[in-house]
A and B are shown apart, each in its own frame.
Chain A
């Protein structure tokens, strides 16, 4: 009886410890939500209290200033991620299931890119895009995310598709299906989970990217949310802290959306990436 009690107490201690840590981890989020409903005077006068009255129109004002950044970023993220999915699915399938001359060499070339850190290519890439006239266009974000993301994507897809049963493809081919049909009708549907993982990881990556758009996009109509959050205060003359916090909260909505649907896939991608590389 006493033994059981000891275990119980230990469990309770663990739960309490974890709860405290979770609370501390989430302090920024909680603080953001509470402060987003206050005015500057309320923050200064009643720092720890709940907002009273709650200034809901902070959100309206914040939305008016940053909606364009969010729309831009979501568009770039979706287009870029779809490109990554397509490229990775094709390359992954070819590297997983086909034999052809030069396969190993080509695959090594992909592998070698993983050794090149972003810090080496950041500035030369900027010059390259600038010379190609791609800076200050949506393409600078989309192309770079497609080119960079497909490497990791190809690895994920290759591993996943190598595990698909080859007999299935054989059978389809016997029935007279063309290669394109096999790919579209069998490979893609069977690979949906890994493609979803890829889509979510890639779009979250684009959504959080800061330095690249800062470097390559000057036009504020095309700017992304990460940079937008750091400039909208000066650009629209927002001096109200509450409105700023409301803007941060609004900028979280797309991520909240994608994580509530795809947290499972995201975690899968993260751990799989960690274990495979």
Chain B
């Protein structure tokens, strides 16, 4: 027994339910730093540099011991560490600074305007800077700090990045475009993003990531082809590739940090503070540095996460290979066995029936795509927070738990109960009475005439019928209040649909006198199928008409009753058409039913996982009814 939890844990691990663990190795903070605006790790991983909103740039060794600290006169927008230890600092004080590995100033370039971004290749051969309200991307000389070139972009830029190997330069403009240039500043292409670009990164292979303010990270290849689209919880504040390009770190403004693999699959997620501001990987991809808005820098050991993902990928390949091999072996064994038994003829039969399968193909393609797939998708997604095209997070039974506490659902259940009881009475008693009346007519012509007359109400589209009834309830121009005035009961006139106490009953009254066509036809056909001799002989014995109805008609119609009750139950649980059209659930919550809440959850609140969970619950109830019915019928037949 003690092993059960372990087995469960192992199972959970196997299907990836337990989030991978990333240990915070170290955490340090910079006094008065506010936002950590930028983090840069040196090519050999021995140092990292931090730029902060509080005008400080600090260089640490990898244990987190500060090596030196520099202060600018305004916000530091970007820092970059080169392989030789040179530190580049861009600041809103309109200067671009360079320091050597000891912290001695190398040069200090006055750029005349606020420097919004600086980025360099690891060897320092390509250095680009973005300056406020200048539409050119500036190329700098790393030795002297002189501007050596400019590339015209044609729009104000937010940020720019140089790939580690200096082969690519990527600039993001305020008008939602990405401009890809080569290391010399020659423009290659221009890519449109779907939102305001907040942060970008580019790998040595030219793979591009761009984080937008509407919570998306868009991935592109160096040809400008979309390679992925990741949705996260809020506005992206930073994106960074690991050096090998296999992992992508993302920070958002709600304080979540994420790691994705290159295909956009989420590997890890952690909430750290109020807002994440910057991310950077160590060159060996084993550590991710995360900067927050309160001056903290977290050193997260993500090697297990990344390694796990890698080993999982490897395991998957191995599992697939083994699986495929096993399948082939099994098929071969099966064929062998069938050959021995002389059953290979089935393949000949299947081949001979190929036209039959071809004929069924369109039907079954439609069935699987448009009927089975949505059904399973609904079952599956009821356990998720589901936002198609965006984040889909596994949340277990939370949706179902929420349903229990949802006041609209509880209110809806009470209403549904009332609707079921009244609905069943409505759909059984009046049609039965009418069927009996028609049945007892002598003239066949009259029978046919009345039957047709009752079905005539079908010529009105159901929506038009509902709208006419809605009109009947109109407080001023409606039929009901006018009728009450006519018969002298004007004081009873009422805003029937506007009053929470009467709205549900007004809905129930729709369709008076409730002669359902299907029900009428089913009962009528049932009565016709009762043999005349039975009734004649009963009459001979002196049975009165009520007695005949009670003792012969009703028992013999029990099958029809059962069918109509089941059909009615299933129909009423699912129906929200009439409510949606006539009252839309109001006034207040007085006419809600669970199915309507499902529709609103999906359309008004875009909460598709919750809507699916409601759908699944109703499906479960309907399934129970159907199964009970089948058992019931079976036991009745035996």
A-side interface residues toward B, CB under 8 Å? 7, 11, 14-15, 17-18, 21-22, 24-29, 31-32, 40, 43-44, 47-48, 87, 90-91, 94, 98, 100-101, 106, 109-110, 113, 115-128, 130-131, 143-144, 146-148, 150-151, 154, 179, 204, 207-208, 210-211, 215, 225-227, 229-230, 241, 244-245, 248, 251-252, 255-256, 259, 263, 266-267, 270-271, 274-275
Q: Which residues of B contact A27 (CB under 8 A)?
A: 479
A271, B526: Cα distance in complex, Å:
10
User: Which residue of chain B has the shortest Cβ distance to A40 in the bound complex?
Assistant: B477
B599 contacts chain A at the CB level, 8 A cutoff: yes
Classify chain B: how many residues form its interface, as a range: 35 or more
B468 lies within 8 A of A248 (CB) = yes
Q: Does B513 contact A (CB under 8 A)?
A: yes
Q: Assess the A26–B457 pair: CB atoms within 8 A.
A: yes
Determine the distance from Cα of A114 to Cα of B573 in the docked complex, in whole angstroms. 16
Contact A241 B477 (CB under 8 A): yes
Q: How far is the CB of B592 from chain A (nearest CB, A)?
A: 15
Is the CB–CB distance between A124 and B515 below 8 Å? no
Contact A127 B515 (CB under 8 A): no
B451-472 residues with Cβ-Cβ distance < 8 A to A are 452-465, 467-469, 471-472
B378 within 8 A of A: yes
Bound Cα distance from A130 to B387, whole angstroms: 12
Q: List 28 A-B contacts (CB under 8 A).
A: A14-B437, A18-B434, A18-B441, A21-B434, A25-B513, A29-B459, A48-B486, A101-B349, A109-B364, A113-B372, A119-B574, A120-B619, A124-B378, A124-B381, A127-B374, A128-B370, A128-B377, A148-B371, A207-B461, A210-B581, A211-B576, A229-B461, A248-B460, A252-B461, A255-B459, A255-B460, A271-B525, A274-B518
**A32 vs B456: C-alpha distance in the bound complex, in angstroms?**
14
Tell me the B residues contacting A by CB distance below 8 Å: 346, 349-350, 353, 355-357, 359-360, 362-364, 366-367, 369-375, 377-379, 381, 388-389, 434, 437-438, 440-442, 446, 450, 452-465, 467-469, 471-472, 476-477, 479, 482, 486, 512-513, 515, 517-518, 521-522, 525, 563, 570, 573-574, 576-577, 580-581, 595, 598-599, 602-603, 608, 611-612, 615-616, 618-619, 622-623, 626
CA distance A120 to B454 in the complex (A): 33
> Are the CB atoms of B375 and A121 closer together than 8 Å?
yes
B455 close to A28 (CB less than 8 A) = no
Residue of B nearest to A127 (CB): B388
Is the beta-carbon distance between B464 and A248 smaller than 8 angstroms?
A: yes
Contacts of B457 in A (CB 8 A): 25-26, 28-29
Contact of B453 (CB < 8 Å), options: A11, A22, A87: A22
Whole-angstrom distance between the Cβ of B537 and the nearest chain A Cβ: 20
Q: Which 6 A-B pairs have the closest CB atoms?
A: A100-B353, A124-B374, A248-B464, A147-B370, A120-B619, A124-B377
Provide the residues of chain B in CB contact with A7, threshold 8 Å: 442
Picked from A101, A119, A130, A151, the residue with its CB within 8 Å of the CB of B353 is: A101
> Residue A31 contacts which of B359, B374, B479, B517 (CB distance < 8 angstroms)?
B479
Is the beta-carbon distance between B349 and A47 smaller than 8 angstroms? Answer: no
Q: In the complex, which residues of chain B have a beta carbon less than 8 angstroms from the beta carbon of A90?
A: 359-360, 362-363
A75 → B minimal CB distance (Å):
16
Contacting pair B461 A226 (CB below 8 A): yes
In the complex with contacts A14-B441, A87-B366, A271-B521, A120-B458 CB distance below 8 A: no
Chain B residues with CB under 8 A of A275: 525
Task: Establish whether residues A116 and B619, one from each chain, have CB atoms under 8 Å apart when the complex forms.
Answer: yes
A94 to B577, CA, bound (A): 37
Q: Point out the residue from A48, A117, A122, A226 that lies within 8 Å of B570, measured CB to CB.
A: A117
Interface contacts beyond A28-B469, A100-B353, A123-B612: sample of 12 additional A-B pairs, CB < 8 Å, sorted by A: A22-B450, A90-B362, A100-B350, A100-B357, A121-B378, A128-B369, A147-B370, A210-B462, A210-B581, A211-B580, A252-B464, A270-B518
Choose from A130, A144, A148, A270 the contact partner of B517 (Cβ within 8 Å). A270
Q: Which B-chain residue is minimally distant from A121 (CB atoms)?
A: B374
